[in-house]
Each structure stands twice: as C-alpha cells, then as structure tokens.
Structure 1
Amino acid sequence: MPSSQPVDVLPPGAGAGGHASAGAEPAAPSFSPLYQQIKALILRSLQAAEWRPGEAIPSELELAARFKVSQGTVRKAVDELAAENLLVRRQGKGTFVATHHEEQVQYRFLRLAPDQADAMGGSAHRTFLDCRRLRAPADVARALQMKQGEMVVEVRRVLHFAGQPVVLDDIWLPGHLFKGLTADRLSEYRGPMYALFESEFGVRMIRAEEKLRAVVADDDTGALLDVPAGCPLLSVERLAFTYGDQPVELRRGLYRTDRHHYRNELS
C-alpha cells in the first residue's frame, strides 16, 4: 500500500542516495519550497480542467494523500491560490475553483471607481459597436504571441454607467480560441464578458498587466464618449493571461475621468 507520509523532493541531479552522479559538474541550486511545488501541481490540474470553474476541489486531506505531503503544505499552497483569486474558500462547504460568475471577481480587472459612491448606478450597460474576424496587425500579434497574419476577433464596445458613456474598449482575441463569437452572442449574454469566455469558450482570465497614459479625445472618440475633441482621457492597455502565462486578450480602453477615477491598491 503506498505511504501517505510526507516525502522530500530530491535536488536535481541527485540519485537514490541523494548525491550527484560521480564526475558530474555540480549544478547551481534551483530549489523551490515544497508548498510551491504542490501549488504548481494544483495549477496543472486547473489548466487541464480536472476541476472546472465553480466546482469544488478535493479536500486538503485528500490532496495531501494524493501528493504525499502534509496537510499544512497543501493548506499553504491553497492559501496562495485563493489569494490570487484562482480558488475560493467557502466556510463549511470547501474550496472551489474561482469563476468569473462570482460577484466578487466579475469586475476585478476594472479599476474604475466613481468620484461619488452612487455614481456607478449599478452594473455597467454595454453597447457593442463591432465584432469581426481579421488578420492580426503586427502589434496585436506580437502582444498575443501569435504569428503575424493569424486570425483574431476584434470587439469594440462602449460601457455606460448611470446612463453616461464612460469607457470605449477595443479588444482583440486569438481567433482559434474564440470560434463562433459574434456581436449577437455578446449582446445576448447578460453576464460579464469574462464569464462568457470562461463558460462557452473554456478560456479563463487569471491575471493581467496594464499600461496607463494620458491622451486626448479625437473627433470619433469624442462622439462615442460624448466629450469634445481634445478632452483629456485615460488610456488603459491591458494584456490578460490564462493558465501557463498564455496571453489571450489585448484590450485598449479610453476612459472618461470627469466623474470617475482609476483606483488601485498597493501593498
């Protein structure tokens, strides 16, 4: 019967006795804590969709037996994944794979906040202006780590808060991951876009990088955001990643900041 006791991980190049082979050049140490190795194994299972968004993962005791480590080691790995919004703990129920259908993570990448607490007026109202397939421009292909000329889906939309247009988004998605995505499908879906991507295309956004700069509105942008040409706007370019640090969305947004501001928490 296999043992369920914790086991140590041997350093690279070590044999059964824990020593490097005779005559081998000593390798530079490349150790990682055991809980980080368990975290990587859980991430691998998430990426392989062994446990789908919204589903419960095995208990800490079951994972400890599976990986032959202590429950404390598993708990530390799960704690980090929960802090990164990849898992969600529910008191008395267990630990679940995070999903963009969860209210607390639906808009976690949208850092826009109203100057007044009630200015958002509830959920955003979306107007989709375009959704088309085209060959990726060079800068988009480079950002998404695609070959130039591969197909992408380009989506253009306006977000309204309290009846006011606030955000103009241009979004590019790898075509092979989003086959069948249309403007009608986007318009019909009532939840957040990332929830649609997760449930219908199997693509979960788990982290993002952003670049911010100040710009001014041109005539076309001004008309869409109901501001005069030359009005200052905040440009937010976001690159979103799924498991394995694979980039799966490039989003360039122009934000009105006359009644809203960009808010981030630093620690």
Structure 2
Amino acid sequence: MERLGTGGSGGGSGREGGEGVGFRPLYRQVHDTLLRRLAEGVWQPGQILPSEGELARELGVSQGTVRKALDALTADSLLVRRQGRGTFVAEHDDKQSVFRFFKLRSEAGGEAAPESRVLARAEAPASVDERDRLGLVRQARVVRIERLRALDGRVCLIEAIALPASLFPGIAALDLPNTLYSLYANRFGLTIAVARERLRAVALSAREAGHLGAAPGSPALEIDRVAFDLDERPVEWRLSTCLTEHVHYQSILR
C-alpha cells in the first residue's frame, strides 16, 4: 500500500499537521482511507477494528494521527469506542438513528421516540425535482413513501420520502419499520453518513392540514433533507412538514 502523505493527493512533504494551499492534513487522509473501507464493507457493523498501533504501522503514520482520524469517525457516529475493548463499527440501531437524525423534541421535555404510520408507498418514474435532488438520470425510477409521525401520541408531521429504486429493490413491499435508516443499513447495506437539511416556514395545504388535524393555511415548518451514504452518494430525499405548536426543532452546535 502507498504510504499516506507521500506525494499524490496529499501534496507537499506530507508532514503531519502541516497546512498550506491545497494541503490536506494527514489525519484527514487517514480518515478518508478508513471511511472508504467502511463504505466497501471491509469492516461490517459491530466488527472490531484493528488497534490504533496496527493501523498506524500499516498506513505508515503515527498512532496519534490514527487516533485523531478515529475520533472524527466516532464523532460522526460511524464508529463506537468501548473502554477497554477497542473501536467498533457502529451498528446504527433504531435508537441511535432516531436521536441522531430526528431533531423534533416535545415541548413537554424528554427525548421520546416518534411513532410512524405509513399512508402510501409506490414505485414510479422520478420527477424532475427527484432527479435533481438525488442526482438521478432521466430514466430513473424512485420509491415514494408517505407517512405520518407522532410525538407523545400527537401527530405532528407528514413526510414524503423518495428513494432511488435501483438502490432499494423490493422496499415498497416490505413492512416498513419506524426507523428507516436502520432498515437501509441492515437490509440494503447503505449506511447514512450525513444529512443536509434546509428549513423554511410554509402554510399547510388542505391535504396536509387534513392529515395533521389543523386548518388549511396554518403555519408549519418544512424540513427538506437529502441523506448521503458513506460514498457521499445521495440516497434519500425527505420532505417533512411539521406543526410546531407542541414540538420544536433542536440543533446542538459545537
């Protein structure tokens, strides 16, 4: 294996921690190498990784550089550190997926998991917007899922989800779980690594209002999310329309 930081995309002399125009820190190169292995399935969910020392020797970098890369992957919830046992590939169970990606919180406090009810699902040719948001070709097909979600027993949002049909064969026929991201990982081998959201204020349509038990035109929060897998490929477009009378959107900035 070519040593990291020596020529190629690393640039410069490959000094650890160096900065410069176009220079990528060595720990980021290690991070990207490990991320690529996760994407390729070299290490499966729940599997323990080689030790920091073993990875450092293999990649030709210091143990501290490996540790920094592992810390970054752990912060992204792709790895899990277990004291005295080692570093493991995250399994992305329902609880982890819910509280990492579901940002609505009840005004009553606590972190109650949302409940879901599927309204419709079908496969169809991708619309112009779906092709644009998911980077699909003109002939592509998508699976559309519409469902309601509730917190503390109160329905608070309706969401429309579009998935590339080629990546999720047969998903429309499955009994869909409350948390879809665990299904994506366990059934289709697609781990959601990051999601990008855009928020704006909207007025409820008559149909949305009927499902949410509100008056047409009521103010609501729209969350437009595109989720990406470990290969940085868009694999889900989700449009959620939320009533915020009893819930709020919580984002923790660090």
TM norm structure 1: 0.85
What is the total number of aligned residue pairs between the two structures? 244
Change beyond 3 A, Cα 1:217–1:91: same
Q: Distance in 2 between matches of 1:229 and 1:36?
A: 49
CA contact 1:106–1:195 (8 Å) conserved in 2 = no
CA distance, structure 1, for counterparts of residue 215 and residue 173 of structure 2: 28
Q: Structure 1's 79 and 145: CA in aligned 2 closer, same or farther, altered over 3 A?
A: same
1:48 matched residue in structure 2 = 40
> Residue 79 of structure 1 aligns with which residue?
71
The correspondence for 2:246, drawn from 259, 262, 266, is 259
> 1:157–1:183: structure 2 CA closer, same or farther, 3 Å change rule?
farther
- Aligned residue in 1 for 2:182: 195
Give the letter aligned to residue 52 of structure 1.
Q
CA-CA distance at 1:125 after TM superposition: 1.7
1:90 paired residue among 78, 82, 93 = 82
| 1:242 aligned residue | 229
Q: Which runs of 4+ in 1 moved over 6 A?
A: none
* 89-98 vs 132-141, which moves further: 89-98
- Is the 8 Å Cα contact of residues 169 and 253 (structure 1) preserved in structure 2? yes
Judge conservation of contact 1:233–1:256 (CA < 8 Å) in 2. Answer: yes
In structure 2, the residue matched to 1:62 is 54
Contact 1:128 1:183 survives alignment (8 Å): no
Amino acid aligned to 2:82: R
Corresponding residue for residue 136 of structure 1:
126
Query: TM-score of the superposition, structure 2-length normalised?
Result: 0.89
Per the alignment, residue 145 of structure 2 pairs with 155
CA contact (8 A) 2:78 2:193 kept: yes
Match of 2:95 in 1: 103
SS in 1 for 2:192: coil
Question: Matched residues in 2 for 1:207 and 1:219: separation?
Answer: 33
Alpha carbons of 1:229 and 1:71: their partners in 2 closer, same or farther (altered >3 Å)?
A: same
SS across alignment from 1:176: coil
Identity over aligned residues, as a percent? 36
Q: Deviations over 1:73-114 (max 9, x none)?
A: 111111111112211111122111123206344331111111
Q: Distance in 2 between matches of 1:227 and 1:8?
A: 57
Alpha-carbon distance, 1:58 to partner? 1.3
Retained in 2: the 8 A contact 1:130–1:183? no
Q: 1:41 to 1:184 in 2, by over 3 A?
A: closer
Which of 201, 211, 216 is equivalent to 2:198? 211
The CA distance in 1 between the partners of 2:153 and 2:180, in whole Å, is: 20
Residue in structure 1 matched with residue 16 of structure 2 by the alignment: none
- Residues 112 and 263, structure 1, Cα contact 8 Å, conserved in 2: yes
C-alpha distance in structure 2 between counterparts of 1:104 and 1:8, whole Å: 32
What secondary structure sits across from 1:172 in the alignment?
strand
Structure 2 unaligned residues grouped into runs of 5+: 14-19
Q: Which one has a bigger Cα radius of gyration?
A: 1
Cα distance, 1:75–1:209 mapped onto 2, change above 3 Å: same
Q: 1:8 to 1:197 in 2, by over 3 A?
A: closer
Contact 2:160 2:239 in 1 (8 A): yes
Whichever residue aligns with residue 156 of structure 1, its letter is E
